[in-house]
Amino acid sequence: MNSTKKTRAAIKAVGGYVPPEILSNADLEKMVDTTDEWITTRTGIKERHILAPGVGTSEMAVQAILPMLEKNNIDPLEIDFVLCCTITGDMIFPATANVICDKIGAKNAWGFDLAAACSGFLYGMEVASKLVESGKYKKVLVVGGDKMSSIIDYTDRNTCIIFGDGMGCVLLEPDEEGYGVQDSILRSDGSGREFLHQKAGGSLRPPSHESIDAREHYVYQEGKTVFKFAVTNMADVTAELLERNGMTGDNVNWLVAHQANLRIIDATAQRIKLPEDKVLVNISRYGNTTNGTLPLLMWDFEKQFKKGDNLILSTFGGGFTWGSMWLRWAYDPK
Ligand code: UT7
Instruction: State percent of the chain over pLDDT 70.
Output: 99
Give 258-299 pLDDT, tens digit per residue. Answer: 999 999 999 999 999 999 999 999 999 999 999 999 999 999
Rounded to the nearest whole angstrom, what is the distance from the C-alpha of residue 224 to the centroid of ligand 1? 6
- Same domain? 151 vs 241: no
CATH of the domain at 35: 3.40.47.10
Q: Considering its fold, how many domains does the chain have in total? A: 2
- pLDDT, tens only, 145-156: 999 999 999 999
- Asked whether the beta carbons of 119 and 38 are under 8 A apart, the reply is no
Contacts of 250 (CB under 8 A, 6+ apart): none
Same domain, 77 and 202: no
Residue 200 has pLDDT above 80, yes or no: yes
The answer to whether residue 196 sits within a structural domain is yes
**From the candidates 233, 282, 288, 291, which is the catalytic residue?**
288
For a mutational test of ligand 1's pocket, the pick from 151, 160, 224, i.e. the residue with the most ligand atoms closer than 8 A to its C-beta, is 224
Q: Are residues 156 and 203 part of one domain?
A: no
Structural domain boundaries, residue 28: 3-178
Looking at residue 334, its pLDDT comes to 85
Are 158 and 228 part of one and the same domain?
A: no
Tens digit of each residue's pLDDT (9 = 90 or more) over 34-86: 999 999 999 999 999 999 999 999 999 999 999 999 999 999 999 999 999 99
How high is the pLDDT of residue 173? 98
User: Which is the closest atom of ligand 1 to the Cα of 157?
Assistant: 48
Shortest-distance Cα residue to atom 41 of ligand 1: 34
Specify whether 151 is located in the same domain as 187.
no
Among the candidates 178, 206, 227, a domain finishes at 178
Q: Which atom of ligand 1 is nearest to the CA of 290?
A: 1
Is 67 found in the same domain as 87?
yes
pLDDT number for residue 124 = 98
Per-residue DSSP letter, 249: G
Q: Are residues 210 and 309 in the same domain?
A: yes
Q: Does any domain span residue 189? A: yes
pLDDT of residue 3: 47
Q: Does residue 333 lie in a domain region?
A: no
108-111 CB contacts, 8 Å cutoff, 24+ apart = 108/77, 108/78, 108/79, 108/80, 109/79, 109/80, 109/81, 109/82, 109/141, 110/80, 110/81, 110/82, 111/81, 111/82, 111/83, 111/84, 111/141
What is the rounded distance in angstroms from the CA atom of residue 23 to the CA atom of residue 280? 22
Q: Does residue 334 lie in a domain region? A: no
Which residue among 145, 178, 211 closes a domain?
A: 178
Catalytic site includes residue 288 = yes
- Do 127 and 250 fall within a single domain? no
Task: Looking at the structure, tell me whether residues 106 and 201 fall in a common domain.
Answer: no
Tell me which of 125, 155, 178 is where a domain ends: 178
Query: Which of the four pLDDT bands, split at 50, 70 and 90, describes residue 186?
Result: very high
Shared domain check, 97 and 204: no
Which is catalytic among the residues 25, 49, 84, 258?
Answer: 258
Question: Are residues 206 and 138 part of one domain?
Answer: no
Domain for residue 229, yes or no?
yes
Render 74-89 in DSSP notation, one character per residue: --GGG--EEEEE-SS-
pTM to 2 decimal places: 0.96
**pLDDT reading at 9 higher than 60:** yes
What integer pLDDT is reported at residue 128 of this predicted model? 98
Residue 307 confidence (pLDDT) above 70: yes
| 60 and 148 inside one domain | yes
